[in-house]
Structure 1
Amino acid sequence: MAPPRRLKKHAHELRFLSKCSPRERKAFLQHADQSLITSICECVSNVVKGNVPVSKAQRSKLSRYKKHLRALSDKRLGHPKRREILVQQGGFLSVLLKPVIQSLDEDMKSTLERSDLSLLDKVQLYNDTLQRYLNEDKKMTGQPIGLNISTSSDNKGDKSSDNKYQHHHHHHQPTQL
């Protein structure tokens, strides 16, 4: 099964942005395509709206950027302004992207590991989980969202499907910034 198309398409870039230096981040974002900028803004929106669990330490680090985070999560903000904010104020990306990536990975993995569900029920639950992440994309683009569901054999070369996940159950309250 596949994560949201845009998130999957940009998974390597998002992981890079969560780990790179400020100089690398600025250079990378100055030349990023519109789809990547939109994907980053979707991640921001999901964190701002409390759809992604954020620890108190992460929330504290992000709070100094709340004006910029709120602006980036506003779907009315144009791409040139979004890019400008991300390039000039993108220091929050390393903090913001880690819980987004981790949350998506954990939700997808926990759905697939459930032994109490039939395959059909797993597919439906997986789809429901994806919709939580896709909701912002749908609002921003106004376009229907397609889901690609594949077997695990389709992802053999995909490093994001490695079994290196640590599954933790964290009970977080949604956090508003």
Structure 2
Amino acid sequence: MENKEGFLSSHLEITLPLQTTHSLDFLGLHQGYGLWEQANYSESVIIGLLDSGIGPDHPSFSDEGVSPPSAKWKGKCEFNGTVCNNKLIGARNFLGADRGNITRTPFDWNCHGTHTSSTTTRNFVKGTSMFGEANDTAMGMAPYVHLAMYRVCRGPGCTYGDILASLDAAVEDGLDVLSFLL
């Protein structure tokens, strides 16, 4: 392989274990003390995620203890009603932007975006368990952060046009961090 024209490098294939439920412990982040608390759980930071949408009524997106977003936030909530709050401050749909035909809501029909955004930004949810076992408080990496979801993916994937349209909007909305969890 090394003798082939254009070859730059190779890496040995390895398998890494999933670390979603114990990542906070691994990083030494504990509720109530330490660096995480000193950083106020990322309060006032605005994170935007590009994914398959969001289930806004999920308990992970409660705004209990979350301050209102700063005046720099210019985004919007495209859900009917008042489902956005101080936690989920924005939700926009860009499916169809590649064809100039945006007609859907930012609701997450396959739960991928809801899952990835709750892993990242979940507020403290007390009393979580798996079939009644391991009852504890679930939390994301940045529980007091503000969240904006940009729906750019549908069942089979995400198109460049939808992604690019959402990137333009995300920059104008005033995000601090933008994450592609595709």
TM-score (norm 2): 0.24
> Relative CO higher for 1 or 2, CA cutoff 8 Å, sep ≥ 6?
1
Higher strand share: 2
TM-score (norm 1): 0.25
Greater gyration radius: 2
Higher helix share: 1
